[in-house]
Amino acid sequence: MEILSFVLQVFTPMNMLAIVAGVVSGLVIGGLPGLTANLGVALLLPVTFSMDVTAALLMLMSLYTAAIYGGSFSAILLHTPGTSASAATAIDGFVLTQRGEFAKAIRVATFSSVVGGLASGVALLVFAPPLSLLTLKFGPAEYFMLAIFALTVIGTVSTGNMVKGLIAGAVGLFLSTVGMDLDSGFPRYTFGLFALQSGINFVPAVIGLFSLSQALMMCEDANATIQRVDSKGGGWRFLPFRDEIRAIRTTLVRSSLIGIVVGILPGAGADIGSWVSYNEARRFARDKSQFGNGSIVGIAASEAANNAVTGSSLIPLLTLGIPGSTTAAVLLGALIVHGLLPGHAMFEEHASITYTVIFGFLVANVVMGAVGMTLGKFMVHIARLPNAAIIPTIFILSIVGSYSLGNNVFDIYTMMAFGLLGYVMRKSGFHPAPMILGLILGPIAETGFRQSVTLAEGPVLAYILGSPISLILAVLTLLSVGTAAFLESRGIRAKRDGSVGGTARTP
């Protein structure tokens, strides 16, 4: 009966209004480049001070999950990820938009996001205490091996050219070292610029590599349109077709599980979850050539995983007070502001609030899907506008998104520099995704390795591989590298054989 009372509390007018407000705000914030989920939760936090604590938490958590999903709209429509967690979605989503299949891309992304969000909500409801204990077993060595394993994604993200992917990833790793050295306090590669002492700001870099570079590419043909006029994709509908569900159902299960596991690891975040899931989807796919060429499986992998992170990142937050993501860290501040301390008391003394919020999180994901598909039906018309009308919009959003993050003009310069770099990379056959991975994972790998060197009493390698978790991650890393190398060599051999055969048959 208590469970029923918690569910009924979700559907009170005030709580439902809070959920809808949070979802709509999250979709708007997530869809605008640079306005991250962290920023959205931080902006709405003062608004909740005078609200009922349950309604306040429901609004903030609804905004969180909707913002992660909202990033897929601009990623699919304009190749401009609204949030960095949707960067992998842009790879295949934008190709579908160019083919006139925006409707297919957005319904698959929406369905996958809802499934991933619901899966993480169930995990939050059922497995919160036992799953949160796993985070206590991750030390510096485990985080280092996790970053190394995630870095192997670089080899398979660049479809058809692993060498260029590894080069771009290595450049990203190098750029991640820019800034103040944490041990010595000495600035590295800053060239005397004070603004670089805190490192390269990740969000402007993502906006530049994906958004501005795309705008520069579109400048080459200003009269063209992103989407073909003869729109395809089966028309507009709220749910995917049966064949689409059959194609992505295994990926949804695997990606949701990956997102849940990544989410409970503090600091990992939706970015890593989406990229690891995208890599695993490509690894298990029968036809890997579809990835990067409009694969709905790639969209489903990225969106299911990044939304699965949202709920599971709250597991260590509510049970141990350890935020599983930067947005969860802001939510931790919201809990404290409203007089709630994470831990055993959340599930005993404040059980009514806690379980109502968890059930409300499940409802928010359903509301998110309904509102998202309703808005998406009208957003498809943007793809039919000529490039000349869209290019200035991308430029403005890129500048505003970069500046609004910290009110720092240097972030605009960073975005422009990475935009030019991304344009040159695209023209040279390099995809920007591996560089983004290097920027994300570099600090995690460096911190884990340095702490391991400090803590190791003997050989560092023995310390790093001294736990079962590290050994499992090491084996997965070897398998990932070996698989990528094998597939690359087989592809090269097939191309060579095909060219030889073609030559032999030429009269």
Structure tokens at 395: 């430029």
Could you identify the residue written with the tokens 């929406």?
A: 110
Cβ proximity of 166 and 155 under 8 Å = yes
> Which DSSP state fits 189?
S
Q: Which CA distances in Å does 259 have to 33, 60, 148, 318?
A: 23, 20, 18, 18
Identify the pLDDT of residue 219.
Answer: 84
Cβ proximity of 346 and 340 under 8 Å = yes
Identify the pLDDT of residue 506.
Answer: 34
DSSP strand pairing (179-180 vs 187-188): antiparallel
Give the residue from 2, 10, 4 showing the smallest Cα distance to 359: 10
- Gap between the terminal Cα atoms of the chain: 81
Cβ proximity of 204 and 402 under 8 Å = yes
pLDDT in single tens digits along all 507 residues of the chain: 577 888 888 899 999 999 999 999 888 888 776 566 776 776 677 778 788 889 999 999 999 889 889 888 888 887 877 777 888 888 888 888 888 888 888 889 999 999 999 999 998 888 776 655 565 677 888 888 878 877 776 655 554 567 777 788 888 888 888 888 877 778 888 888 888 888 888 778 877 887 788 788 878 876 666 554 444 545 567 788 888 898 898 999 999 999 888 887 765 667 778 888 888 888 888 877 788 888 899 999 999 998 998 888 888 778 766 665 667 767 777 787 788 877 666 777 788 888 888 899 999 999 999 998 888 777 666 656 677 777 887 788 788 877 876 788 888 898 899 989 989 988 888 877 778 778 877 888 888 888 888 888 888 888 888 888 889 888 888 877 776 676 566 555 544 554 444 433 333
Cβ proximity of 110 and 375 under 8 Å = no
The total number of residues written for the chain in this structure: 507
Q: At what angle do helices 128-135 and 102-126 cross, to 10 degrees?
A: 100
CA dist 346 and 332 (Å) reads 12
Identify the pLDDT of residue 221.
Answer: 73
Identify the pLDDT of residue 417.
Answer: 92
Return left, alpha or beta for 429; rule: phi > 0 is left, psi -120 to 50 is alpha, else beta: left
User: What is the value of pTM for the model shown?
Assistant: 0.66
Identify the pLDDT of residue 499.
Answer: 44
Cβ proximity of 292 and 159 under 8 Å = yes
Cβ proximity of 44 and 59 under 8 Å = yes
